[in-house]
């Protein structure tokens, strides 16, 4: 039986869509309908591509139509995501603004295709010969007590830890599978770039996927799982584990979409060989939070496809005493990610996603490596300076030393494999806590932002696993939380919002809401958290309107640093995606709009409002009265300056799932042309726009598009100011 997670807001949104079709009074589409405020993108991304989430593949036709062209380059059907190449002349910033503004049917989300640069080694040492006794030169193994760990009888039956039976997916540049110290290590891999030109993008065992130009992936793979006891070169931490080559680099950057594609192909067994990873390691990172990659990671961490709610079939296999095929995952994937080499205290992704084991680097003096990125999300550290490992054979060198958190991360991935060998059903959080509890503390006592809980100790780790198997020690279960952000009117989901879980004023985890308004936190520490929400107001996220570009977190001074605390959430151990700890955070807005003009003619402030009784929309003015707000009075212009205002009475603008609302001017009663000013105060922030030319006799539908055109023609300064305000 397949078990499905039911998301309640999907049903709610669907009901609204069914009963809320726009009325015939909606302004007609025209050339100006393509105008939209560009979305500010601060992280590196592909300028000619975007990633979109869809509900049905047929919905992609509507996406391309809204963009004015383009083409779908690739789909990840399991995640209902597609990579779209934009039409000539349209960049990602304007494309995202256009899609947000046009309410494309079936569009779940749209995001930049963020780019993750190929990590640069932080230094290199002398080349080593293939026949040298290289393991004796592995200082990293010495400090982690690898030899002592490998000699340990973990299960009391003489079984020693070497990673047997564990599959490590290496998301990287592609591995030279012909290297003699990696021979026999591989199962089928996957090329998410398509650069290798292999049938169905399947990388067969023993294939050189490094393209004769990339060294990074081969070096990473050897650190995790170079063959041991074979009389050659070095040994990996888990020297008998299996490697799955997941290639995401074809040039100097890997994209969000390619990484998500590789992870999804691996965990869904896209090649059909029945093999899926137990561990995934990623020695890469960059700026930019992307929903497509978050969905792929959450699916791996939970054993569920978080987009469809279906269990991942190959993880429902009866592991650790579970029942195969009952719709409940029996094992999941543990993911290790490099913190980065920025020398800074900051967050890069994917290391910053909840549930990840984020890894820092240490040197031979057991100190934090100076280049290693710091942050509250770090878990543990591992040796990452002058690490000797496999080097592609086409270089003629075979082994080399380089440095970086890229090198520390596969050390930890190998350590995870030693745990998974004996505790295959252990969750990502259980594995993480085993690593943290057995690490050698460095720097300030306890956790610190530079080295986390310390540098991993393999001997202490496998001794703890022995105790768990013997029943003299236990593991610590993590929790899962889902925070839903919605409006108080109609419960409309608010996507793109930042949801932070804090303890003692410190942000512990951050996730953004998806198209259903849900922020997913899985494999996190149990405890009570303050929940803070910050993000675009639903006015910008769900509709195209003349409201200022505001965030619900902004105070009267326009300070975006303070979020809105919407309650506390207790996260209990053992929660799953099927039964998470949950909190629904409902938002409200304060809105006042004022129209002013100084010509002796009759203008009317017009608000495009949703009318539930008519299941449609109407232009409301002071002459007709408001549905969701109050007009100050009907000014006929007989005395100047004249003004009319509208104040929202509801707790939030009542935009149903398919709705729009707009601000405009009705000049059908005007006897002469006029110039008007619109002043908007929203959530305590005030902005004024104008003077705006208004033609006598013009209706609000015409003026809405004319106002947009006039503001765009006024130059980029207006839009930049709106975005940065």
**Set 59, 140, 162, 172: catalytic member:** 172
Closest by Cα among 383, 379, 392, 389 to 434: 379
Q: Encoding tokens for residue 576?
A: 């799953």
Measured between alpha carbons, how far is 79 from 306 in angstroms, rounded to an integer? 8
- Buried b / exposed e over 274-286, threshold 16 CB at 10 Å, is eebbbbbbbbbbb
Specify the length of the chain in residues. 725
**470: burial class by Cβ within 10 Å (0-12, 13-18, 19+)?**
exposed
50 close to 92: Cβ distance less than 8 angstroms: yes
Closest by Cα among 324, 321, 322, 302 to 313: 324
Cis peptide before 641 (omega within 30 of 0): yes
**Set 255, 299, 389, 406: catalytic member:** 406
* Radius of gyration in angstroms for the set of CA atoms belonging to the chain, rounded to a whole number: 28
Q: What is the 3-state secondary structure (H, E, C) of 306-326?
A: CCCCEECHHHCCCHHHCCCCC
Measured between alpha carbons, how far is 705 from 682 in angstroms, rounded to an integer? 22
116 close to 253: Cβ distance less than 8 angstroms: yes
**Set 45, 94, 179, 216: catalytic member:** 216
DSSP 125-169: ---B-TTS-GGGG-HHHHHTTHHHHHT--SSSSSPPPS-TT-EEE
Please tell me whether residue 203 adopts helix, strand or coil conformation.
strand
Q: Encoding tokens for residue 475?
A: 């593991």
If phi over 0 gives left and psi between -120 and 50 gives alpha, with beta otherwise, what is residue 450? alpha
172 is catalytic: yes
CB neighbours of 567 closer than 8 A, spacing ≥ 6?
Answer: 530, 531, 583, 585
DSSP 613: G
Could you list the active site residues? 172, 216, 406
């Amino acid at each position: 039986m397949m078990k499905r997670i039911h998301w309640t807001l999907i049903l709610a949104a669907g009901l609204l869509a069914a009963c809320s079709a726009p009325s015939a009074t909606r302004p007609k589409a025209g050339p100006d309908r393509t105008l939209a405020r560009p979305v500010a993108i601060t992280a590196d991304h592909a300028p000619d591509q975007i990633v979109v989430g869809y509900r049905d593949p047929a919905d992609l036709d509507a996406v391309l139509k809204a963009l004015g062209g383009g083409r779908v380059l690739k789909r990840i059907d399991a995640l209902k995501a597609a990579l779209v190449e934009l039409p000539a002349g349209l960049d990602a910033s304007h494309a995202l603004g256009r899609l947000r503004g046009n309410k494309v049917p079936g569009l779940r989300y749209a995001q930049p295709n963020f780019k993750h640069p190929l990590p640069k080694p932080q230094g290199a040492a002398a080349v080593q010969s293939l026949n040298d006794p290289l393991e004796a030169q592995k200082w990293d193994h010495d400090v982690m007590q690898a030899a002592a760990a490998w000699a340990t009888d973990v299960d009391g039956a003489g079984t020693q830890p070497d990673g047997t039976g564990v599959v490590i997916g290496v998301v990287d540049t592609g591995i030279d599978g012909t290297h003699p110290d990696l021979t026999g290590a591989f199962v089928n891999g996957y090329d998410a770039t398509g650069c290798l030109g292999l049938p169905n993008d399947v990388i067969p065992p023993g294939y050189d996927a490094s393209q004769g130009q990339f060294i990074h992936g081969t070096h990473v793979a050897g650190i995790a799982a170079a063959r041991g006891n074979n009389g050659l070169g070095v040994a990996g931490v888990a020297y008998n584990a299996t490697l799955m080559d997941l290639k995401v680099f074809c040039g100097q950057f890997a994209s969000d979409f390619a990484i998500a594609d590789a992870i999804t192909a691996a965990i869904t067994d896209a090649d059909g060989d029945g093999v899926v990873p137990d561990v995934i390691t990623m020695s890469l990172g960059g700026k930019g939070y992307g929903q497509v990659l978050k969905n792929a990671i959450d699916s791996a961490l939970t054993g569920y496809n978080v987009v469809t709610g279906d269990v991942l079939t190959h993880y429902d296999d009866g592991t650790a005493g579970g029942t195969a095929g009952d719709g409940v995952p029996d094992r999941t994937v543990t993911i290790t990610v490099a913190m980065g080499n920025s020398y800074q205290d900051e967050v890069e992704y994917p290391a910053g996603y909840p549930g990840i084991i984020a890894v820092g680097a240490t040197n031979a003096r057991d100190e934090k490596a100076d280049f290693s990125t710091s942050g509250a999300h770090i878990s543990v550290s591992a040796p990452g300076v002058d690490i000797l490992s496999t080097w592609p054979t086409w270089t003629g060198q075979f082994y080399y030393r380089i440095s970086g958190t890229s090198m520390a991360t596969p050390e930890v991935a190998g350590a995870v494999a030693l745990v998974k060998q004996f505790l295959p059903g252990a969750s990502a959080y259980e594995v993480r806590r085993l690593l943290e509890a057995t690490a050698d503390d460095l720097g300030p006592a306890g956790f610190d932002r530079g080295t986390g809980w310390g540098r991993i100790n393999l001997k202490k780790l496998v001794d703890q696993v022995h105790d768990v198997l013997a029943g003299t020690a236990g593991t610590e279960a993590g929790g899962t939380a889902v925070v839903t952000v919605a409006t108080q009117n109609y419960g409309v989901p608010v996507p793109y919002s930042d949801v932070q879980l804090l303890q003692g004023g410190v942000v512990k985890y951050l996730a953004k809401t998806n198209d259903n308004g849900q922020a997913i936190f899985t494999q996190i520490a149990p405890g009570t958290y303050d929940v803070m929400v910050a993000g675009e107001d639903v006015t910008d996220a769900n509709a195209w309107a003349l409201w200022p570009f505001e965030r619900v977190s902004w105070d009267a001074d326009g300070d975006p640093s303070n979020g809105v605390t919407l309650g506390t959430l207790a996260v209990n151990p053992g929660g799953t995606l099927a039964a998470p700890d949950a909190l629904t955070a409902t938002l409200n807005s304060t809105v006042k709009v004022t129209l002013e003009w100084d010509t002796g003619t009759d203008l009317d402030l017009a608000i495009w409002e949703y009318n539930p009784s008519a299941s449609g929309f109407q232009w409301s003015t002071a002459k007709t009265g408001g549905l969701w707000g109050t007009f100050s009075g009907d000014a006929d212009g007989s005395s100047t300056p004249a003004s009319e205002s509208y104040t929202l009475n509801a707790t939030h603008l009542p935009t149903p799932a398919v709705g729009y609302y707009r601000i405009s001017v009705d000049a059908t009663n005007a006897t002469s042309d006029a110039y008007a000013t619109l002043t908007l105060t929203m959530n305590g922030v005030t902005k004024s726009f104008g003077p705006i030319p208004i033609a006598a006799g013009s209706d609000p539908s015409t003026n809405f598009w004319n106002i947009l055109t006039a503001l765009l023609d006024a130059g980029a300064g207006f839009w930049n100011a709106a975005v940065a305000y």
